[in-house]
């Protein structure tokens, strides 16, 4: 059953520490089919990876699609970095599960807000 029209597609507003909004709602179908729409069953690594060189350009969907269903560390343009487990990449956005430090919550945000990322 589809979500009511008043429900934003990637959650939003939610009270996390990320500038990208919070969870809620049902995850969209994954890009390219296959894969799980469930959060990972284990926490991400304890330490973040070294930050790659920043780019002046926005993150391209083709670049981050290789991180689908993999632990990914996101460095946003503003605010602290965080662990993310992407399950969907659209033309201008990405959705998946963000690690809060205690659990995974569904979240989505604009690719233009990402400074850099690294996935394993």
Does residue 1 have a pLDDT over 50? Answer: no
Long-range (24+ apart) CB contacts under 8 A made by 69-72 are: 69/30, 69/35, 69/36, 70/119, 70/120, 71/40, 71/44, 71/45, 71/119, 71/120, 72/117, 72/118, 72/119, 72/120
pLDDT at 29 over 70: no
According to the model, what pLDDT value does residue 53 have?
76
Domain assignment of residue 111, given as a range: 61-119
* Each residue's pLDDT tens digit, 69-111: 999 999 999 999 999 999 999 999 999 999 999 999 999 999 9
- Return the CATH number at 82: 2.30.30
Residue 22 lies in a domain: no
Q: Indicate whether this model's pTM tops 0.75.
A: no
Question: pLDDT tens across 40-72, in order?
Answer: 999 999 999 998 876 656 688 999 999 999 999
Q: What is the pLDDT of residue 55?
A: 62
Is residue 46 in a domain? no
Indicate whether 41 belongs to any domain: no
The answer to whether 113 and 76 have CB atoms below 8 angstroms apart is yes
Inside any domain, residue 70? yes
User: Is residue 36 scored above 50 in pLDDT?
Assistant: yes
Task: Report the mean per-residue pLDDT for the chain.
Answer: 78
């Amino acid at each position: 059953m589809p979500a009511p029209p008043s429900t934003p597609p990637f959650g939003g507003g939610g009270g996390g520490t990320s500038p990208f909004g919070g969870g809620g709602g049902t995850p969209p179908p994954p890009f390219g089919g296959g894969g799980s729409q469930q959060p990972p069953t284990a926490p991400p690594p304890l330490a973040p990876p070294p930050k790659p060189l920043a780019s002046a350009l926005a993150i391209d969907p083709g670049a981050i699609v290789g991180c689908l269903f993999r632990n990914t560390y996101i460095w946003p343009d503003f605010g602290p970095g965080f662990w993310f487990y992407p399950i969907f990449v659209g033309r201008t956005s990405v959705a998946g599960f963000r690690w809060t430090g205690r659990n995974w919550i569904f979240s989505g945000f604009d690719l233009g807000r990402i400074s850099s990322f690294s996935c394993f």
